[in-house]
Structure 1
């Protein structure tokens, strides 16, 4: 693991929460040969407090509206909410420095300006399994940033993810034992929530994150922060 982080890469911070996406982009790495300790790594955008506060208010409103059915949902802990750009998986800790050096090449892009969008559900509102709030604004620039992040990792052995990218922040997920009729009732209540006023924010950095799984849910540690402040 890195012993030190340059001044423009902020020191590690521990967060606990859940990813802001229903599925994590997976980059299938080349078979590692390093026998040393490994860490579960991913590259992400850490979400600002104004957006996580909005998510918290939506969760509170939905809890009130669905009453006892709230126990049928697994609520996202917004404390460590983030938007995953690339999931590297179990990676030798000895490779962290070279990953950070590769990611440093995206700093030239400059900030990406986004805003919260409408409410939605996967696979659909009639029997939802994932409830989310979308992201609007410079979505093309966000997709381009994601692509460049993944492309910088190709020489290190992680091919890019070819799946579609639908940026959103997860509000809650249905538990496995939630019946279809119950999910439908939850979907109706969620759809009745008045669309919140947009919350604007700037993505001015990406982060290399570590995820440690535990009985209380995943625990996230920021290993490095790469600012996006020098647009061409």
Structure 2
């Protein structure tokens, strides 16, 4: 399920350019406390991995960037999309946002004006998507001296599809408690993709945005559309919409 929220800032909204942690906080503050605690402390688990099973977009709207301050200022209507396969989470987000109405985006007061709910049904083994926030795909390796380093991948590289598929299979197992059907997941770029180098709580993260075509088992493609594609979805990466 996808929930698109329209916000109206009280006197404009000025936040850091790297604002994912602020949006994540808005979401956690909107949902039921017990659900927030479950997601934060446990989540849905598979093979020792924990998944929150939600993703969210970048903010969209008319904005100005102040490079000297490292901030971005939204001037009027702001839109944000949140997606998840977990109905309880979606209902809690919707009720929380509209019931509270006035939300804190950092030090700013923002009014939730309206909400649009959409369910994308993947009914065949192929779907075209557009990113609403950059997709992050990576592996962690050990250097000879024992230190860890992270290698990020882009669509088209040999390991990209394998890592995307493995991630989706773990999400499916975590949510449904059963293995997904057999079949490879493939990602094909539809035009150029754009590299984004971002920061989340002082950690540098690389992701890619653009239009892509996914092929593979329908159940895994549905999970990609709802829970997000790639890693770090609950930190504001890999949110997509069907086109």
Q: Point out the structure with the larger helix share.
A: 1
Same fold by TM-score greater than 0.5: no
Q: Point out the structure with the larger strand share.
A: 2
**TM tier, shorter chain?**
under 0.3
Scaled by the length of structure 1, the TM-score of the pair is 0.28
Higher relative contact order (CA 8 A, sep 6+): 1
Scaled by the length of structure 2, the TM-score of the pair is 0.27
